Amino acid sequence: MKPFQNLSKSIKANNPFSIFTKNLSGFPLDSRNITNDLISIFTKQPFSPNNPELESLAPLLNTKVVETVLNGLKNWKIALHFFTWASNQGPYKHNVYAYNAMASILSRARQKAPLRALSMDVVNSRCLMSPGALGFLIRCLGNAGLVVEANLLFDQVQKMGLCVPNSYSYTCLLEVLSKSSCIDLLEMRLKEMHDHGWGFDKYTLTPVLQVYCNMAEFDKALDVFNEIHDRGWVDEYVFSILVLAFSKWGKVDKACELIETMEEKNVRLNKKTFCSLIYGFVKESRVDKALHLFDKMKKSGFTPDISLYDVIIGGLCVNKDVKKALCLYSEMKGFKIKPDVKIVTKLVSSFSKEEELTCFFEEMQEDMDPKASTLLYNSVLNSLVDNGSVHKAYHLLQAITIGNCIGDGEIGKLFRGKEMVPPNSTTFSIVINGLIKTGDLDLAVSLFRDMARIGCKPDLLLYNNLIDGLCTSNRLQESCGLLQEMEESGIEPTSFTNNCIFGCLCRRHDISGALHLLKKMRIHGHVPWIKHSTSLVKELCKHGKEVEACKFLVDMAEEGFQPDIVAYSACLDGLIKIQEVDQALKLFQDICAQGYCPDVIAYNILIKGLCKTQRIAEAQNLLHEMEEKGLVPSAVTYNTLIDGLCKTDHLEEAMLFLSMMIEKEREPNVITYSTLINGLCNAGRPDDALLLWNEMGRKGCTPSSIAYMAFIHGLSNCGRPNEALVYLREMEEREMKPDTYVYVGLLSAFLVDSNQPLAFEILQEMVDEGKFPDLHDKNHISVRNAILKLSEDARTSLSIKNLLAKSSIPSASLSVTGIKDGVEPAI
């Protein structure tokens, strides 16, 4: 029951709007004729605004006629057309009841835009209205979801003196506001109503309760409910608002307490509320409460429908409460409600034992026709496959197919001595697809053959799934055989079918086979998937077959399939790696000539190749070309050029590129700074390198281990081992481990600086960290010579002997230095 239903009845006699909803009896004869003529003219197609009869009727318009015509028109567009026409026929002017008649039509049709315009027109025309008429118009706006417009209208008519709202007007507004989440606005209106001296009744407080419940403000909702209760206004609708809110927000126990309170007060739930609560309880995994409510619903005389059984049985199956689920299933049959496939599937999927499945099967078979039995079998098979029992499903299908039990399981016994229901294509597809997913392709193919032998025709989807599975497992010959069978049976292969085989050919690096299939695909209008051709090109380049990769792309283009830029970029990268830079440039030019617009990645590949071969000027030209084409160079682009410039002793130009990156808002990264710092150190400019390192920190760019190692090694090479050691310790504090060459550089630098104690400290640390170079390491000779120098120095010779005594230094170093167990080296 709607909250304002009783109120509407009580004021109906005094409602001014009720006069235009009465039948035309009692309507003056002349007015009835005018009304009928207008309805006829506006509904007749095509409508003519210049109709002479219409011109003669215009002077006869009055509000009664307009209201009656509007109520007689069935189409909102025609009604709006008439309403607009009437408003332009002076001296006639719409009154509020005409506006409300039009608003009611637009609200029912959910036409928000014209209804919004209508509400503005009411105000602009300075139309006077009664509090009841205002309430009606506000409810029309609210029913169409125009809450903001309703609230604005309420304020405007008061401000302009068009209406003095009463308690009914406020109640209508509160009802509209309750449909939104505007708690603050609703509370403000409630206070405003109280301040104007209007008392609250049941219909005032009900929308307040509704909005608090919608927003899960349960404390406030209970306060309002208690007030309604204390005044004796609680009815079924008020209870339902609160109990449904508790259910919606997961407060199941609170909802149950409220239901008990309702029963004590002899307030009954209606069927819709029962169903909503049961759905909510199951959703919250409170199936026990849902069952309890379900029993109450039946005792109240309501008959459950199949959807309600579906929800509860589904909840019981999730909880593995099979016994209760089966009881409900039997109850359904008692109510003559026929279970659908969804319910059967849920039940079957919940059985953990074959005995349960067998009992259910036998009960189902009693009153099932062959078609229904097949659906049942399919449901069982589907459940077994979904639960991971694919092989059980396979054996069951064999039992169904050949009529003989395989094995002594309960499911197998079920079919002994019983007439088999012939499986259909769906039956086979369920099991075959399950076998494909588990990789049991031999069984899948075998079952596919059985399917054909008993006259079941595979469909396109099954062919595609099996071909895809075989291609994924590199079983190309079988896939091609199935493709041929498919075509011979009259099933047209799809783009997916051919692309499965094309992908397999590409993975096998079978260029001729792939090109042959491309010709066939072109005839059928199938487009090869880019990922396969790109993968083939990458694999060919990876295995040193860059020339074959380029030729494949050319041949592919000749077949009418243009490779994408990703494939071409893979080919360019392959050519760069084998130092075929000129060939890569030619391919790049050919790509551009074909209308391609290479992306930033393609340009970066070429720039990298040119920089590696010290062709810096050409690389810079490519950068300019990129920018002219509207491409935005990435940090990788600039880093590559900076690296090339540093390695060719063009440090100033490299530093200019750093400034350019900042100007163009391409944030330099740790690679940018590391490259420049390394270049400055190599050029013997450690002070500049230190300045740049500090700038990197100020910019918030955290150094990586590679950056630290390059900087430490660079400072060591520049004869600044003490500063290098500071950054080594900083690196270690950040739990980064340096490589051997970093230790070796520091060791050598301290020896050059005649600081043998610190040199030994570095050697000791290198040994402790397991970074001592082996005989094949290029750093081994440097370390061996360092050990010899340290053994000759009085400050460190004893420490070296101790290291040797502990076998901390590999024995190969002993034979070279001539130091053995405390024996002085030969000098």
- 437-459 residue pLDDT tens: 999 999 999 889 888 888 888 99
C-alpha 99: how far from chain center: 46
Calpha distance 397→24 (Å, rounded): 71
Q: CA angle at residue 681 from 675 to 684, to 5 degrees?
A: 145
For residues 287 and 328, is the Cβ–Cβ distance under 8 A? no
For 449-479, b/e burial (b = at least 16 CB within 10 A) is ebbeeeebebeeebbbbbbbbbbbeebbebb
Which one has a higher pLDDT value, 388 or 756? 756
Rounded to a whole number of angstroms, the distance between the first and last alpha carbons of the chain is 112
Calpha distance 262→255 (Å, rounded): 11
Mean pLDDT over 568-593 rounds to 85
Calpha distance 350→527 (Å, rounded): 44
DSSP state of 685: -
* Mean pLDDT over each residue of the chain, to the nearest integer: 83
For residues 515 and 552, is the Cβ–Cβ distance under 8 A? yes
Give the confidence band of 357 by pLDDT, cuts at 50, 70, 90: low
For residues 415 and 373, is the Cβ–Cβ distance under 8 A? no
Cis ω for the linkage preceding 738 (within 30 of 0):
no
- What tokens appear for 38 in the block? 């207008």
Calpha distance 817→826 (Å, rounded): 9
Give the confidence band of 24 by pLDDT, cuts at 50, 70, 90: very low
Q: How confident is the model at residue 822, as a pLDDT?
A: 46
- What tokens appear for 252 in the block? 């199941």
DSSP state of 777: S
Give the confidence band of 46 by pLDDT, cuts at 50, 70, 90: confident
- What tokens appear for 134 in the block? 């205002």
Torsion angle of C-alpha atoms 558, 559, 564, 569, degrees rounded to 10: -50
Furthest-apart CA atoms within the chain: distance in Å: 139
Predicted TM-score of the model (pTM) = 0.51
- 106-159 residue pLDDT tens: 999 999 999 999 999 999 999 999 999 999 999 999 999 899 999 999 999 999
Calpha distance 725→728 (Å, rounded): 5
For residues 782 and 717, is the Cβ–Cβ distance under 8 A? no
Task: Indicate whether 17 pLDDT > 60.
Answer: no
